[in-house]
Amino acid sequence: MRLLKSFLLMALITVTLYADGGSLYTRKGIGDLYFALNARRLGLGGGGVALSSLTDISTLNPAGWYSLKHTRFETGFYYNGLDLQNSKASAIYSQASLSGFSLAFPIDTAKGISLAAGLIPYSNVMYEVVKESTDPLIGKYTSSYEGNGGLNKVFFGLSSKLPLGFVMGAAFEYYYGKIEYNANIRIDNVDYKDGIFKNLNNFQGRGINVGILSPDLSKLFDTQDISNFRFGLSVNKVFSMKRDSSEVSGNSDSTFVSSSMNQNVNLPFRLNAGVTAKLFNRYLIVADYFYQPFEDFTINNIKPGIYQNLKRFSVGFEYTNPKLQKETFWENVVLRLGLSYEESQYKINSTSLTKVELYTGFSIPIGQGNTVDVAFSMGKRGTTDNNLIKENYYNLSVGFSLGEIWFLKTDR
């Protein structure tokens, strides 16, 4: 029961999750989005929709839980560094945080019935801009603009085998989070008072994630060199989401709430598709495609005006030593490499912002069925043309995947 106690403890102490930040492009809407979050999937390029594993919990496709043999608990940490550049200046941001947690255990391994639950980040807003100016009337003053917060997702669901070798999974999803925008003016002239403005937004929503895995199609190739060749598909659909928005403004002496309202948010569905295959019992290859029509994103039927449809492609490669008896430490290490290309949801000044990222990672066993997973990525997004910002960033993710046998009868 150690895993259950750990899960409950994390649920009590983790109220809001924030991962990486620093991007000024997150100032509207709900911010940057997350895809795969555990370190193993990040090392594969952030994909793995068609991947089912004995040693990790998929947050992309609930059908992937069917192959679990032991109870698993996963959590980890995430570090992000971001170098921002425009045509005149540059800045560096960094942040470390918890990347969420999940728990899964098999109920009936013969039928592929497994139950999983977790709490993971869905989106992130974090930026800060400071500008010094001079006015003929009031003199020198400093303007600062910042935003922080994001959406989180709680999920709970089941997987099950279907006839003809298909597998299906479904999970209920609850979205919540807070996004806060602040603007402050600090005036050097003591005859004037500093000004403040805050926009507070609390989100709540409900949705579902339905996924399916194909049968193992490797038999079609009539060779022993290809195994576990599968297609996967999942769809995240948010049925209802509300935003409670309020504005606070004033000066250094007093503040007041200028407005408060409840608004409907239309968060578009996300389509996730992938394929995976294992070659020569040692090389795993995954390829994935993500699509989310952000042109349909609205708040009270109003579009933010900076969004386009998101499209993301990724490929990943994993090497595992096929020897059953691994005698040395290095024979137990699993190696990964990945690449992704993304047409992000942002389109600013008629410029579509694309994102390219390279990934690498490895796993180290720390006992029977337990691993420490490490992933590192670096990439770029945006441009310094058209008064835009170019982002060069790097991410480090460390995850812990722990397994434990429950409900197993033992001889006494």
CATH number, domain of 100, equals 2.40.160.60
Residue 62 in domain: yes
- Which residue reads 């639950």 in tokens? 117
Q: How far apart are CA 125 and CA 119, in angstroms?
A: 18
317 by DSSP, 3-state: which? strand
DSSP for residue 88: S
pLDDT at 257 over 70: no
Q: Does any domain span residue 410?
A: no
Rounded to whole angstroms, what are the CA distances from 281 to 47, 121, 257, 289, 300?
Answer: 20, 34, 63, 25, 52
Alpha carbons 242 and 249: distance in angstroms, whole number: 23
φ, ψ dihedrals at 303, nearest 5°:
-85, 140
What confidence tens digit (pLDDT) does each residue in 277-313 have?
999 999 999 999 999 999 999 988 888 888 999 999 9
Residues 60-99 pLDDT 10s: 999 999 999 989 999 988 888 888 777 676 777 777 778 8
Please state the domain count of the chain. Answer: 1
pLDDT for res 255: 64
- Does residue 181 sit within a domain? yes
What is the pLDDT confidence band of residue 21, given thresholds at 50, 70 and 90?
very low
Per-residue confidence (pLDDT) for residue 133, from 0 to 100: 83
Domain ranges, residue 190? 2-404
Least confident of 36-40, 119-123, 335-339, 397-401: 36-40
Is the residue at 78 inside a domain?
A: yes
The residue to which tokens 């769809």 are assigned: 235
- Do residues 365 and 331 touch, judged by C-beta distance below 8 A? no
Name the token pair of 215.
């049968």
Question: What integer pLDDT is reported at residue 162 of this predicted model?
Answer: 96
Is position 299 within any domain? yes
Q: How far is CA 236 from the centre of its chain?
A: 13
Residue type, 250: G
Q: Is the pLDDT of residue 6 over 80?
A: no
Whether residue 178 is contained in a domain is answered as yes
- Mean pLDDT of the region 384-405: 85
Query: Does 331 score more than 70 pLDDT?
Result: yes
pTM for the full model? Answer: 0.88
- Report d(CA 40, CA 397) in Å as an integer: 9
pLDDT band at 359 (very low <50, low <70, confident <90, very high): very high
State pLDDT tens for residues 199-252: 899 999 999 999 999 999 998 888 889 999 999 999 999 998 999 998 888 876
Sorted by sequence, the CB contacts under 8 Å of residue 247 that are 6+ apart come out as: 197, 198, 199, 200, 257, 258, 259, 260
What's the longest Cα–Cα distance across the chain? 88
Strands 139-161, 71-85: pairing kind:
unpaired
Whether the pLDDT of residue 159 is over 70: the answer is yes
Is 314 a domain residue? yes
Contact (Cβ atoms closer than 8 angstroms) between residue 119 and residue 17 = yes
pLDDT at 94: 76
Most confident of 131-135, 379-383, 402-406: 379-383
- pLDDT, residue 87, reads 65
Q: CA-CA-CA-CA torsion for 88, 92, 98, 102, nearest 10 degrees?
A: 50
